[in-house]
Structure 1
Amino acid sequence: MAKQNAEPSADGGQVRASTLELFFDLVFVFTITQLTHVFTHHPGWESFGQVALLFGVIWWMYSGYVWLTNEVAPTSSGRRTLLLIGMFGFFVLALAIPDAFHGTGLAFGLAYVLVNIVHMVLFAVSGGESATRAVKRLAPFNAVSAALVLAGGFTHGWVQYVCWGGAFAMQIISPYLIDTGGFVVRASHFCERHGLVIIVALGESIVAIGVGLAGEKITVPLVAHVALGLALAYVLWWAYFGMDDERGEHALAALPGPQRSTPAVLGYDYALYPLLIGIIVTAAGIKMSIAHGSEAASVATAAALSGGVSLYFLGQFFFRRALRLPRPWSRLIAAVAVSATIPIGVYWVAWGQLAALVALAYAAVIIDDLTALRADERSAYLPQPQLIRPRRTK
Structure 2
Amino acid sequence: MAEPAAPESGVRVSTLELFFDLVFVFTITQLAETFAEHITPGTLLDVLLMLFVIWWMYSGYAWLTNAVAPNSTTRRTLLLAGMAGFLVMALTIPEAFHGYGWLFGLSYLVVNLVHSGLFLQAGPGAVAAMRRLAPMNILAAVLVLVGGLLPEPWRHVCWLAAPLVQIAAGHLHRIEMHSIQAGHFVERHALVVIVAIGESIVAIGVGFRGVHLGLGEILVAVLGLCVAYYLWWIYFAGDDERSEHVLERTADPRRRARLALNAWGYAHYVMLAGIVIAAVGVKKTVGHAFEPLHWGEAVVLSGGVALYQAGHALFLRMLGLPGWLHRAVAALVVLAAVPLGHVVAVAQLALITFVMAAAAITEDLPRARRAGNTAISDFGRTRS
Say if 2:232 is the partner of 1:237.
yes
Deviations 1:273-296 (A, max 9, x none): 111000000011111112211111
Contact 1:293–1:350 under 8 Å retained in 2: yes
Match of 1:28 among 4, 24, 45: 24
Matches within 5 A, 1:261-280: 261-280=257-276
Could you tell me how far apart the structure 2 residues matched to 1:307 and 1:384 are?
39
**How many angstroms does 1:208 deviate by?**
2.2
Matches within 5 A, 1:165-176: 165-176=160-171
Say if 2:355 is the partner of 1:364.
no
Could you tell me how far apart the structure 1 residues matched to 2:78 and 2:306 are?
38
Match of 1:110 among 95, 106, 123: 106
Say if 2:136 is the partner of 1:141.
yes
**How many angstroms does 1:187 deviate by?**
0.5
Could you tell me how far apart the structure 1 residues matched to 2:383 and 2:325 are?
46
**How many angstroms does 1:136 deviate by?**
1.7
Distance 1:384 1:391, change over 3 A: closer
**How many angstroms does 1:173 deviate by?**
2.3
Q: Secondary structure at the match of 1:272?
A: helix
**How many angstroms does 1:25 deviate by?**
1.1
Match of 1:388 in 2: 379
Contact 2:5–2:179 under 8 Å retained in 1: no
Question: Identity percentage over the alignment?
Answer: 47
Deviations 1:140-185 (A, max 9, x none): 2112111111111101322111101100111122222222001111
Matches within 5 A, 1:236-255: 236-255=231-250
Deviations 1:192-215 (A, max 9, x none): 000011011101221122111101
Match of 1:162 in 2: 157
Q: Secondary structure at the match of 1:236?
A: helix
Give the number of equivalent residue pairs.
Answer: 379
Could you tell me how far apart the structure 1 residues matched to 2:331 and 2:307 are?
7
Match of 1:297 in 2: 293
Distance 1:392 1:55, change over 3 A: closer
**How many angstroms does 1:383 deviate by?**
11
Q: Secondary structure at the match of 2:179?
A: coil
Q: Secondary structure at the match of 1:137?
A: helix
Match of 2:223 in 1: 228
Letter in 2 for 1:172: I
Match of 2:9 in 1: 9
Distance 1:302 1:138, change over 3 A: same
Deviations 1:358-382 (A, max 9, x none): 00112122212224455x5x7xxx9
Match of 1:92 among 88, 91, 98: 88
Match of 1:63 in 2: 59
Contact 1:101–1:156 under 8 Å retained in 2: no
Match of 1:186 in 2: 181
Say if 2:291 is the partner of 1:314.
no
Q: Single out whichever of 186-195 and 293-302 deviates more from structure 2.
A: 293-302
Distance 1:141 1:391, change over 3 A: closer
Distance 1:329 1:117, change over 3 A: same
Match of 1:355 among 343, 350, 356: 350
Could you tell me how far apart the structure 2 residues matched to 1:384 and 1:317 are?
28
Q: Secondary structure at the match of 1:289?
A: coil
The normalised TM-score by structure 1 is 0.92
The normalised TM-score by structure 2 is 0.94
Match of 1:48 among 25, 44, 51: 44
Match of 2:127 in 1: 132
Structure 1 gaps of 5+ residues are: none
**How many angstroms does 1:37 deviate by?**
0.8
Letter in 1 for 2:7: E
Q: Secondary structure at the match of 1:389?
A: helix
Contact 1:184–1:257 under 8 Å retained in 2: no
Contact 2:8–2:183 under 8 Å retained in 1: no
Could you tell me how far apart the structure 2 residues matched to 1:269 and 1:61 are?
10
Contact 1:96–1:105 under 8 Å retained in 2: yes
Deviations 1:110-159 (A, max 9, x none): 001000000000011x2121112112221121121111111111013221
Q: Secondary structure at the match of 1:388?
A: helix
Distance 1:299 1:392, change over 3 A: closer
Could you tell me how far apart the structure 1 residues matched to 2:290 and 2:305 are?
21
Contact 1:148–1:164 under 8 Å retained in 2: yes
